[in-house]
A and B are shown apart, each in its own frame.
Chain A
Amino acid sequence: MSQEAKSIRQKKKKIVAIAVIAVIFVALVIGIVFTDPLYSNPEDISEVMNDAVLHGENKISLFGLEVNPSLISAIAVTILLLAFAAVVRIFFIPRFKRIPGKFQLFIETIVGMFDGLAKGNSPHRNGFLGAYIFAAGCYIFVGTVFELVGIPVVSTTGHSVSLPAPLADINAAIALGFLSYFVIMSGGIAGAGIRGVGRTLKDFSLPISMSFRLFGALLSGLLVTELVYYYLELSFVLPVIVGVLFTLMHALIQAYVLVMLTSLFYGEVSEPYHKKKKEHKHAKHTHNDANAVVQEV
C-alpha cells in the first residue's frame, strides 16, 4: 500500500473521531438544556445537606430495621471485599508462583505493605496489628471509592438515595475509631500489661479524634458530591474532578492516616517495659513521633 493511501486513511479516521466527539458534545449540551426544566428535586439543598450529615430523614429498611444508608454501603463493601478475597483465595492463591505475575504482585504488594507498616511501627508485637490495619485500610479505601459508584436505593420515605461512603456516617466513624482505640489498648495489655492500659488511657482523646477525623474527611467529600449532583448543570464534566479525583485522593489519605496512627500508637503502647533509661528515651521518642503525625494530620 502506498504512503498516500495510508495518509488518506489516517485522515479519514481523524475526521470520524472528531465528528463522533462533536456529536456527543452537542448531544450533551442539548440534553443539559432540555432536561433542566424536567428535573426537580423534591428536597431543598439545605435539607439534602442536612440529611447527608445527620441521616435524620432518609432511612433504609434492613430486614425491617430502619438504618442509615451508610450501613447498607458498609454491608455492600463487606460483601464486595469478601467476594473478591474468596475469588483470590480459591482461584489465584493456589496458583501463586515463586516469580510473581502482575496480579500476584499487586496482592503481595498490598499485603506486604500493611505487614511492613505493622512491623516498622510496632516491632515488638505486630501479628494482630498487621491483620487489623490490612482490614481497616482496605475497608476505608474501598468504602470511600464505593461512593463513586452511586448505587441508588429507595429510602423508607420513598426518596431515591445514592449509597454514600460507609464512613460518611458518624456511627461508622465512631465504630472504627473506637475499635482502633481498643485494638491499641489490647496491644498495650498484651505487650506491657497494666502499664499498657495506662499508656493507652493517657491518650484518651484518641478515639474521638480518630472517629471525627474520619467522619469529617469523608463527610466533606460527600457534601461536595451532594452539592455538585444536586444541580443538574454541574453534573457534567465537573464530577470527573470533584468526584473521582478528590474521592480517590481522600480515600488514600484517610486509609493511610488511620492505619498509620493505629500502628504508631499500637507500637508505642505495646513496647515492653524496661527499667533502663535508654529504652525509656526510645519510648518517649516513639510517642513524640506519633504525636508529630497527629499534628501533621
Chain B
Amino acid sequence: MPLNIDWQQILLHLFNFLILGIGLYLLLYKPVKKFMKKREDTYAEREEKTAAAVSDAEKTREEYEKKLAAADEEIAGLRKQAALDAENAGKAIVGEARADAEKIVADARAAAVKEHDRIVGKAGDDIRDIVGKIAEKVGTSNDVDAAYEEFLAAAEKGKKDGKD
C-alpha cells in the first residue's frame, strides 16, 4: 500500500482508541459530568426555592399591606362613627340637661309662687287677726297710746313667728 498504509494497524489503532474512549467516558467524563449536573441541579433547586420564598414573602407583604390598608380604613371609619356618636350623645345629654334645667326652673318657679301665695295668705290672716285683736283692745281701753304699743308688740311678735 502507498505510504505504508496497513489495514491491520488501522484496525489496531481503532481498537485502541475505542478502549480509550470507553474507558475515559466511564472513568472520567461521565462521573465528572454527573457531579457537575448534580451541583448545577442543587443550585438551580436552591435558586428556585429562594425565588419561591421571595415570591411568598412578596405575597405576604402585599397581603399585610392590604390588611393594613383595610385596618386603616376601618379605624378611620370607626373614628368617624365614634365622633358622630359622641357628638350625638353630647347633643342628647345637653338637650336632656337643658330640659331638666328648664323643669327645675319651672318647678322652682311654681314652688316659689306657691310659697309666695301661702306667705301672702298667712300674712293676710295674721294681719286680720292682729287688726281684730287691736280693734277689740281699742274698744275696751281708752288709752290710745297703750293700744298702739300693743299693736307694735303684736306686729313684732308676728314678724318673729314668721321668721321661725
Contacts and interface: CB of A to CB of B under 8 A. Distances in A.
Q: Do A and B bind each other?
A: yes
Interface of A: 53-56, 67-68, 71, 74-75, 77-78, 81-82, 85-86, 88-89, 93, 96, 98, 107-108, 111-112, 114-115, 130-132, 134-136, 138-139, 166, 169-172, 174-176, 178-179
B57 interface: no
B17 A175 contact: yes
A199 to B, nearest CB: 24
B12 interface: yes
B21 interface: yes
Interface of B: 3-6, 9-14, 16-17, 19-21, 23-25, 27-33, 35-36, 39, 42
> Main SS of chain A's interface residues?
helix
A138 B39 contact: no
B10 to A, nearest CB: 5
B5 A89 contact: no
A171 B21 contact: no
A175 B14 contact: yes
A131 B29 contact: yes
Contact of B4 (A54, A85, A112): A54
Task: Please report whether the interface of chain B is mostly helix, strand, loop or mixed according to DSSP.
Answer: helix
Contacts of A138: 24
A74 B16 contact: yes
A169 B10 CA distance: 10
A261 to B, nearest CB: 17
A78 B31 contact: no
17 contacts: A55-B4, A68-B9, A81-B23, A85-B24, A86-B27, A93-B31, A98-B42, A111-B29, A111-B36, A114-B29, A130-B29, A131-B21, A131-B30, A134-B25, A171-B4, A172-B9, A174-B5
B12 A67 contact: yes
Contact of B25 (A77, A131, A170): A131
A171 B32 contact: no
A98 B32 CA distance: 12
Given A81-B24, A134-B25, A108 B32 contact: yes
B14 A96 contact: no
A266 B47 CA distance: 34
Contact of A67 (B9, B24, B25): B9
A164 B72 CA distance: 86
